[in-house]
Copies of this chain bind each other. A is one copy, B any other.
Amino acid sequence: MATDEKLIVFVIYPGLTALDLIGPVAALGHLGAPYKAVVAAETTDPFPVNGGLLMMGATKTFDEVPNPYVIVVPGGGMPTIKAMANPAIQKYLRESAPGAEYVTSVCTGALILAAAGLLEGRRAATHWGYWPELEKLGAKYEHKRWVEDGKFITSAGVAAGIDMAIYLASKLTSVERAKEIQKGMEYDPDPPFGPVDWTGALESIPQPQDWPDADKAAVKEALALKPELYDRLMA
């Protein structure tokens, strides 16, 4: 790749929630030079996403894109917990994040960043249903669409990645250009039943140590390659 290219690397893995990835892909995937967007994974073999509803595949491996300018990490449910302990993803993030200009996440993608030790002491967002996990892993959760702390920009759940990515597009190009992108993707939202009612939502989420035993066992198994993460969640 040409050395003047600035890579925007979307980090993907089996079982992710597709909209976490595809919202930012729509806003950041086609910025043009000097940016080049790449969807990368441990291998380029397609894998199921959204509980097996469809298949998705990267076009590059992590090894092929060692120097990202921007990193975007999407989230999901249990497969994302598993990705927290995935050696290839963790290695890629630990090695490439220090040199990146922006390290970003959507939804529980923040837990993957936190598992790599990147959000220690930082303000961060994640899906509202996972805020206790994010705090257990050392970040200070904020219930916002996205949170910017230094070069880390973490967004709230799923669709919040679109707002974050349009904001990031403005930083990479200009506000004018970001608004053009927004218009091109017709992101002029009008939720048919209005905004979300957040009353009591955060308070309803249990702390990990209070999870039912079956949930604890499932998370422990997902984190088997990195048991210290499970210990931290239960602390």
Residue numbers of A with Cβ under 8 A of B are 10, 12, 17-19, 21-23, 25-26, 29-30, 37-39, 44, 46, 48, 50-59, 107, 127-129, 145, 156-160, 162-163, 166-167, 170, 175, 178-179, 182-193, 195-198, 201
Contacts and interface: CB of A to CB of B under 8 A. Distances in A.
A57 B59 contact: no
Shortest Cβ-Cβ A-B pairs, 6 listed: A157-B186, A55-B57, A189-B189, A188-B196, A39-B54, A159-B187
Contacts of A22: 18-19, 21-23
Contacts of A178: 192-193
Contact of A29 (B48, B53, B59): B53
A172 B158 CA distance: 22
Nearest to A192: B167
Given A25-B53, A56-B56, A159 B185 contact: yes
Nearest to A38: B53
A127 B186 contact: yes
A188 to B, nearest CB: 4
Given A19-B22, A159-B185, 8 more contacts: A19-B185, A30-B53, A52-B59, A156-B188, A158-B185, A158-B186, A160-B186, A183-B197
Q: Max chain B CB contacts within 10 Å: which of A25, A183, A187, A188?
A: A188
Contacts of A51: 29-30
A190 B145 contact: yes
Contacts of A193: 166, 170, 175, 178-179, 182
Contacts of A158: 26, 184-187
Nearest to A54: B39
A26 B18 contact: yes
Nearest to A167: B192
Contacts of A127: 186
A37 B50 CA distance: 11
Contacts of A18: 18, 22, 25-26
Nearest to A10: B54
B50 A58 contact: no
Given A187-B196, A193-B182, A196-B188, A159 B26 contact: yes
